[in-house]
Structure 1
Amino acid sequence: MQIIAIASGLAAGALWALAFIAPALVSPFDGTKLTLLRYAVFGISSGVVLALLPRERWWPLAKAYWPSLLVLALAGNTLYYLLLSEALQLAGTLLPTMIIGTLPVVIPAIAGVQTGLFSARRLFWPGLLILSGLGLHISPVGEVAAKDGTIPQTSVGTVLALAALVSWAVYGLKNAALLASFQRADLVTWTALIGVATLGTLPLVVVFVLLDGSLMLDAGQWQPWLALIFWGLVLGLLSSWVATWLWNLASCVLTGEVLGYLIVSETVFAILYNFLVERRFPNTFELPSLVLLVSGVAIGIHTAPRSKLSAS
Structure 2
Amino acid sequence: MPLAPRGKIIVNVPSHNPDRSSQATLGILCGAGAGALWGLVFLAPELVRSFTPLQLSVGRYLAYGLIAAVLIAPRWSRVFCVIRLRDWSALFWLSLFGNTLYYVLVSSAVLAGGIALTSLVLGFMPVAVTIIGSRDKGAVPLRSLLPSLGLCAAGAVCIGWQALTMPSPSGQSVMGLVYALAALTCWTTYAVWNSRCLMRMHHLSAHDWTLLTGLVTGGQALVLLPVALLASSGSHSPSEWGRFAGVSAGVAVIASLFGNALWNRMCRLLPLTMTGQMILFETLFGVTYGVLWEQRAPRFLEMAAFALMIGSVLSCAAVHRRQSTHETLPVMDLAA
Q: So what's the TM-score if we normalise by structure 1?
A: 0.89
Post-superposition shift, 1:184?
5.7
Partner of 2:4: none
Residue identity opposite 1:257 in structure 2: T
Residue identity opposite 2:248 in structure 1: G
Partner of 1:80: 102
Partner of 1:150: 170
Q: Distance in 2 between matches of 1:39 and 1:263?
A: 21
- 1:309/1:269 Cα in 2 relative to 1: closer, same or farther (>3 Å)? farther
Equivalent of 2:218 in 192, 196, 199:
199
Residue identity opposite 2:101 in structure 1: L
Q: Distance in 1 between matches of 2:182 and 2:136?
A: 21
1:57-95 superposed Cα distances (whole Å, 9 cap, x missing partner): 344216551111101111111111111111211222222
Residue 164 (structure 1) aligned with residue 186 (structure 2): no
- 1:260/1:191 Cα in 2 relative to 1: closer, same or farther (>3 Å)? same
Correspondences of 1:1-312 after superposition (within 5 Å): 1-61=23-83, 63=85, 65-115=87-137, 117=139, 119-145=141-167, 148-151=168-171, 153-183=172-202, 185-203=204-222, 205-206=224-225, 208-210=227-229, 212-214=231-233, 216-219=235-238, 222=239, 224-304=240-320
Post-superposition shift, 1:225?
2.8
- 1:117/1:54 Cα in 2 relative to 1: closer, same or farther (>3 Å)? closer
Show structure 2 runs of 5+ residues with no match: 1-22, 327-336
Contact 1:62 1:193 in 2 (8 A): no
Post-superposition shift, 1:215?
6.1
The DSSP-based 3-state class of the residue aligned with 2:268 is helix
Contact 2:163 2:174 in 1 (8 A): no
Q: Distance in 1 between matches of 2:233 and 2:200?
A: 45
Contact 1:80 1:167 in 2 (8 A): yes
Q: Distance in 1 between matches of 2:309 and 2:170?
A: 26
Q: Distance in 2 between matches of 1:184 and 1:258?
A: 24
Q: Distance in 1 between matches of 2:321 and 2:204?
A: 25
Q: Distance in 1 between matches of 2:187 and 2:69?
A: 23
Q: Distance in 2 between matches of 1:54 and 1:149?
A: 53
- 1:208/1:20 Cα in 2 relative to 1: closer, same or farther (>3 Å)? farther
Select the structure that is richer in helix: 1
- 1:308/1:244 Cα in 2 relative to 1: closer, same or farther (>3 Å)? farther
The DSSP-based 3-state class of the residue aligned with 2:199 is helix
Contact 1:50 1:58 in 2 (8 A): no
Residue identity opposite 2:143 in structure 1: R
The DSSP-based 3-state class of the residue aligned with 1:40 is helix
Deviates more, 1:177-186 or 1:31-40: 177-186
Q: What is the RMSD of the two structures over their aligned residues, measured on CA atoms?
A: 2.3
Larger radius of gyration: 2
Contact 1:95 1:138 in 2 (8 A): no
Task: Give percent identity, aligned residues only.
Answer: 28
The DSSP-based 3-state class of the residue aligned with 2:166 is helix
1:188-229 superposed Cα distances (whole Å, 9 cap, x missing partner): 21111111011121156436524533263145xx1x334322
- 1:188/1:116 Cα in 2 relative to 1: closer, same or farther (>3 Å)? closer
Contact 2:40 2:255 in 1 (8 A): yes
Structure 1 moving runs of 4+ over 6 Å: none
Q: So what's the TM-score if we normalise by structure 2?
A: 0.83
Deviates more, 1:17-26 or 1:117-126: 117-126
Q: How many residues align?
A: 304
Contact 1:18 1:270 in 2 (8 A): yes
- 1:279/1:130 Cα in 2 relative to 1: closer, same or farther (>3 Å)? same
Q: Distance in 1 between matches of 2:84 and 2:58?
A: 23
Partner of 2:9: none
Contact 1:73 1:198 in 2 (8 A): yes
1:36-66 superposed Cα distances (whole Å, 9 cap, x missing partner): 1111111111111121225123442165511
